Amino acid sequence: MLLAEVGFAEATWVLIVKSVLIFLLVFMIVPVLTVTERKLIGRFQNRHGPNRVGPVGLLQPLADIVKLAGKEMFRPTGAVPLLFAIAPALIIFSGILTLAIIPFGNVVDGVGLYGIDVSIGVLYFFAFGSLSFYGLLLAGWSSGSKYSFLGSMRSAAQLISYEISMGLALLGAVMMAGSLSLTAIVEAQDEVWYIVPQIVGFLIFMLAGFAETNRAPFDLPEADAELVQGYQTEYGGMRFGSFLLAEYLEMFVVCAIATTFFLGGWTGPGPDWLSPVWLILKTLALIFVFIWVRATLPRLRYDQLMSLGWKILLPLATLNVLVTAILVTVL
């Protein structure tokens, strides 16, 4: 049964090599992101951030991982053992799957610089991105703790609320490109990046992206002051580390998607083989915005979160889609 149409396909061994490379690349980036975030937040607060482990604190993530790996992976008596164990894996799983469709470049020397180019790219992203919600919900529920459960309930509500706006925000770009394939969308931006015509869509996507990745100011599910880390409360050791890993993974994916849809994807001056560098640079720029926003804005109240999602973002996104549709049709 054919699930999706693939635009360009190589030999299987090439696909395997590509997937390993992408997997490694992203997994190399995550530790850098963690230390970068901590150092940046430090700078935003006139501090140094971590600077004790290794040169200027660069080995901090290694130390964190060693520490987390060295801890006992305990499980509360009230927890559901199997679900409790697979929930973090599920979250990582969904993050990694979405990596497959991010286009790091066009076809160079007969090799597409992406995992896979599917004709339903956007749907694929939403389909697998939403799986992480199961991870959160299962983690919270299977912990057998009120705090965890409340955190996961919040994240469920939050993900549902913002996923619609997020989809609608991308719809404008999809309509303009006339394709769901991500490579096609990138190629459609060779004249002007969609951030210009679709600025509203971009902003809505970014806002919804904060919410989707559970980051400040929408980090209600883990709100440490009230829920003591929400769904993560009962986790320890490397399982807890998996949640952290997934958070940064998702952040990277969301930023890469935003780059692809609004910032011209891999396009940039220089030879073709530089295109992955461009994509990563643009993505990192967006990640910087994520961190910047985290250092600036306080956490929203739950009702503010809901009213923002339903009363502002959703109508705005709908309006954006309508206007875009009209303009695309008219022009």
Partner 1 sequence: MNAELNTDGIERVNREFPYLNEGDVISVQRGPEPGGVGGVARTFGATLKGLRTTFARIVEGPVTIQYPEEKTPVFPRFRGRHKLHRFDHDGSGTGGLEKCVGCSLCAAACPSDCIRVVAAENDPANRVSAGERFAEVYEINLSRCIFCGYCEVACPFDAITMGHDYEMADYNRSDLIFTKEMLLAEPVERTPLRREGE
Contact positions vs partner 1 (CB under 8 A): 40, 42-48, 292-293, 295-297, 307, 311-312
Minimum CB distance to partner 1 smaller for 312 or for 322: 312
Minimum CB distance to partner 1 smaller for 49 or for 151: 49
Q: How far is the CB of 295 from partner 1 (least distance, A)?
A: 5
How far apart, in whole angstroms, are the C-alpha atoms of residue 53 and residue 31? 14
Q: How far is the CB of 59 from partner 1 (least distance, A)?
A: 18
Q: How far is the CB of 290 from partner 1 (least distance, A)?
A: 12
Q: How far is the CB of 219 from partner 1 (least distance, A)?
A: 16
Q: How far is the CB of 177 from partner 1 (least distance, A)?
A: 27
Minimum CB distance to partner 1 smaller for 7 or for 217: 217
Minimum CB distance to partner 1 smaller for 174 or for 284: 284
Minimum CB distance to partner 1 smaller for 69 or for 312: 312
Minimum CB distance to partner 1 smaller for 38 or for 75: 38
Q: How far is the CB of 304 from partner 1 (least distance, A)?
A: 9
β partners of residue 274: none
